Amino acid sequence: MNTEKHSLYPFEETSKEDTLKRSEWFKKEMKKRRSIRAFSSKSVAKDVIENIIITASSAPSGANKQPWVFCAISDADIKAEIRKAAEKEEYEAYHGKMSETWLNDLKPFDTDWHKPFLEKAPWLIVVFKKPYGLAEDGSKEQHYYVNESVGIACGFLISAIHQAGLVTLTHTPSPMAFLSKILKRPENERPFLLLPVGYPEKEATVPNIQKKGEAEVIAWY
Ligand code: IYR
């Protein structure tokens, strides 16, 4: 083996009993996660946001290109600008752009075009994907499986937010191009997901929806 390219993986072996316990613990923990739309304005330390973003950025990616950047926004003026632009898109979505079927499917969630959480949450994280890399000399670097990679990193991000004792929402106003403009992002970045991060408002409610069970989501062979 080429010892310059590889180093020993510091695997921490656990007993089969512990593996079962740990998988059950994590299942229960993750099942408590819910998408929250009513945020309190209680602050969250910048260090916490840095930790959860670095956790997300530890995700696997095509050829380890890490084709993402996470914009973390706490500035009130920028949040207000984002809310204004997002609500404009959402208003159009709810008044003609979304189909009847789509609007019907959204009924359990009681959503509408108003997005106060974009200002109220202490942090907004906007995840950008990079379809290609841009070196300082302007040359392009190839990236691979960009959507899959950034999707996986977002899964890590959402799990890290939950584990930190915070809440979030995977928000995708469509189209999202306004985010590139407001945040002045370079040409090789495209908005992928917008997540408010913080604490739930006192007595925030969640819709009574169910997750599919094992019989529906697992096919054993
Ligand atoms: N973007 C809109 C609509 C919306 C779409 C889906 I798919 C959802 O799961 C939830 C909402 C909004 O944020 O209200």
pLDDT tens by residue, 12-23: 999 999 999 999
| Host H or E run for residue 127 | strand 123-129
Is residue 195 domain-resident? yes
The residue nearest atom 4 of ligand 1, judged by CA position, is: 106
Which CATH number is 59's domain given? Answer: 3.40.109.10
| Host H or E run for residue 178 | helix 177-182
Distance of CA 220 from the midpoint of ligand 1 (Å): 33
Distance of CA 53 from the midpoint of ligand 1 (Å): 24
Is residue 102 domain-resident? yes
C-beta neighbour count of 181 within 10 angstroms: 10
Residue 2 pLDDT: 55
The residue nearest atom 6 of ligand 1, judged by CA position, is: 106
Label the pairing between strands 167-168 and 190-198. antiparallel
Is residue 210 domain-resident? no
Percent of the chain with pLDDT over 90: 96
pLDDT at 65 over 90: yes
Query: CA-to-CA distance for 221 and 100, rounded, in angstroms?
Result: 39
149 Cβ contact list (under 8 Å, min separation 6): 59, 60, 61, 62, 65, 66, 67, 68, 129, 143
pLDDT tens by residue, 139-197: 999 999 999 999 999 999 999 999 999 999 999 988 999 999 999 999 999 999 999 99
Pocket of ligand 1 contains residue 196 by CB under 6 Å? no
Is residue 21 domain-resident? no
For the record, the structure tokens of 134 come out as 């841009």
pLDDT at 1 over 80: no
Pocket of ligand 1 contains residue 111 by CB under 6 Å? yes
Instruction: Tell me what the pLDDT averaged over the chain comes to.
Output: 97
Residue 159 pLDDT: 98
Q: Which domain holds residue 115?
A: 43-201
The number of distinct structural domains making up the chain is 1
Is residue 144 domain-resident? yes
Residue 92 pLDDT: 97
Is residue 164 domain-resident? yes
Distance of CA 172 from the midpoint of ligand 1 (Å): 7
Quick one: 52 exposed, middle or buried, by C-beta within 10 A (0-12, 13-18, 19+)? buried
Query: CA-to-CA distance for 115 and 119, rounded, in angstroms?
Result: 8
Residue 3 pLDDT: 58
Is residue 59 domain-resident? yes
- ipTM comes to 0.96
Q: How confident is the model at residue 207 (pLDDT cuts 50, 70, 90)?
A: very high
Distance of CA 122 from the midpoint of ligand 1 (Å): 21
Is residue 47 domain-resident? yes
Pocket of ligand 1 contains residue 54 by CB under 6 Å? no
pLDDT at 28 over 60: yes
